[in-house]
Amino acid sequence: MTLNSELQKDFLARGFSRRSFGRIAAMLTGASALPFFNEFSLAQEVDTHALPPGAVKIDSNENPLGPGDSATQAMQAMVPKGNRYQFNLPGEMAKAMADVEGLKADHITPYPGSSLPLHWAVLSYTSPTRPLVIADPGYEAAATAARFIGAKTIPVPLTKEFAHDVKAMVAADASPGLIYICNPNNPTGSLTSRESIDWIMANKPAGTMIMLDEAYIHFSGIQSAVDLVKADKDIIILRTFSKIYGMAGLRAGVAMARPDILRKMNQYGNTWMPVTSVAGVLASLKDTKLVPDRRKINADVREETLAFLSKHNFNYIPSVSNKFMVDTKRPARDVIAALRKENVYVGRVWPAVPTHIRVTVGTAEEMKKFQAAFIKVMA
């Protein structure tokens, strides 16, 4: 891919050199294939294609329940129509999402997952002179994308309550291009208060964009900050249908922001989604029981597992999400390897918490197997 003249002017004005254009073009043409831009590739050395029969896969924050019944039926019904592009469907998805969120449809862009708008926001607002500010530990995709194109990344430790330290994030640089907040946070499952979100919006440097990733918000039951989008603030809110809606492999997500922000992000490529995924989204949004029912199922299984860990005197980070982190008191990589020998696969290691493992909340049966394997390994 060759960057057009307008894109070149924009990148040069933000401090990129022409030497960086090749890496930027590589990111635009092959982001899904590059070695660090999604949950699958961030899983490091785990080969998910080679998991043995009966493996407990609780490593990638997937929903073990899969798509809802109505979504499955809608996608199956769409398959015979897959020979048609159906250009109207993304607009229908934006309208349906807008109705749910109380926004205008032009404030929403559908994407094949939420990784693409995350990467495009990094391209749009960071540069060698405008760094990316992130939490540590936090979801790494934005940081790896920024480093790939030559933008500086500034990690800021979470507070002692494992919330985003918004005051430290604002103080990290005089003019950051983008501040990324995942709420609830990945990997910790912990919350950052609405008061903190409001504070950072009021106190961020002029020209800085806030990106709020609400991938896991439905598990928590807290209110979205979508009202800030409605008020046309400098904020991008990401949502995905990979988590509570159980559509990780089907790739569906949205970005919500002012139309001018979305236009800036969407200049980099095509946002087209498979028609089956759109059908699944439309059906999921109409299923008013799906989110509360799954929130309760996830919470019940999570809290039972956390109670088990407390009973056996293991420390963990309090979580309101579909994953949690437990302190193994020894190198987490060793515990991960030992659990694999028990046919239990948990998440990767974060350098900021090297003795913690991230565990996705699976089914009740899967978590019982995790508990048994964990006790055996830790003994």
Is 356 exposed, middle or buried (CB count within 10 Å of its CB: 0-12, 13-18, 19+)?
Answer: buried
Place of tokens 């964009």: 209
Non-local CB neighbours of 136 within 8 Å, separated by 6+ positions = 155, 156, 157, 158, 352
Predicted pLDDT of residue 12:
82
Place of tokens 């009966």: 54
Looking at residue 52, what DSSP letter applies?
A: P
Please check whether residue 132 is in contact with residue 50, taking contact to mean a CB–CB distance below 8 angstroms: no
- Residue 102 domain-assigned? yes
Predicted pLDDT of residue 14:
85
b vs e for 273-296, b when ≥16 Cβ sit within 10 Å of the residue's Cβ?
A: bbbbbbbbbbbbbeeeebbeebbe
Co-location of 51 and 87 in the same domain: no
Please check whether residue 271 is in contact with residue 85, taking contact to mean a CB–CB distance below 8 angstroms: no
Of the three residues 286, 314, 331, the one that is the final residue of a domain is 286
- Residue 74 domain-assigned? no
- Over residues 174-198, the pLDDT tens digits come to 999 999 999 999 999 999 999 999 9
- Residue 76 domain-assigned? no
* Domain coverage including residue 27: 5-34+83-286
Co-location of 58 and 184 in the same domain: no
Co-location of 51 and 118 in the same domain: no
Please check whether residue 103 is in contact with residue 256, taking contact to mean a CB–CB distance below 8 angstroms: yes
How far is Cα 123 from Cα 177, in angstroms, rounded to an integer? 10
Co-location of 234 and 372 in the same domain: no
Co-location of 172 and 142 in the same domain: yes
Question: What is the distance between the terminal CA atoms of the chain, rounded to a whole angstrom?
Answer: 54
CA atoms lying within 13 Å on the CB side of residue 136: 14
Predicted pLDDT of residue 30:
60
Of the three residues 233, 262, 286, the one that is the final residue of a domain is 286
Co-location of 11 and 130 in the same domain: yes
- Residue 73 domain-assigned? no
Predicted pLDDT of residue 43:
54
Co-location of 153 and 214 in the same domain: yes
Indicate which CATH number applies to the domain containing 327: 3.90.1150.10
Predicted pLDDT of residue 18:
81
- Residue 72 domain-assigned? no
Please check whether residue 339 is in contact with residue 304, taking contact to mean a CB–CB distance below 8 angstroms: no
Predicted pLDDT of residue 5:
83
Co-location of 159 and 18 in the same domain: yes
Predicted pLDDT of residue 169:
98
Predicted pLDDT of residue 15:
79
How far is Cα 116 from Cα 125, in angstroms, rounded to an integer? 14
Predicted pLDDT of residue 32:
46
- The count of structural domains within the chain is 2
- Residue 78 domain-assigned? no
Place of tokens 């960057």: 3
- Residue 268 domain-assigned? yes
How far is Cα 224 from Cα 128, in angstroms, rounded to an integer? 32
Co-location of 249 and 322 in the same domain: no
**371 torsion bin: left (phi>0), alpha (psi -120 to 50), beta (else):** alpha
Co-location of 178 and 94 in the same domain: yes
Of the three residues 246, 264, 286, the one that is the final residue of a domain is 286
pLDDT, block means (10 residues), the chain with 379 residues: 78 80 74 48 54 94 97 97 94 97 97 94 95 97 92 97 98 97 98 98 97 98 96 98 96 97 93 95 97 98 98 97 98 97 96 97 98 97
- Residue 222 domain-assigned? yes
Co-location of 26 and 43 in the same domain: no
Co-location of 321 and 208 in the same domain: no
Indicate which CATH number applies to the domain containing 19: 3.40.640.10
Predicted pLDDT of residue 65:
97
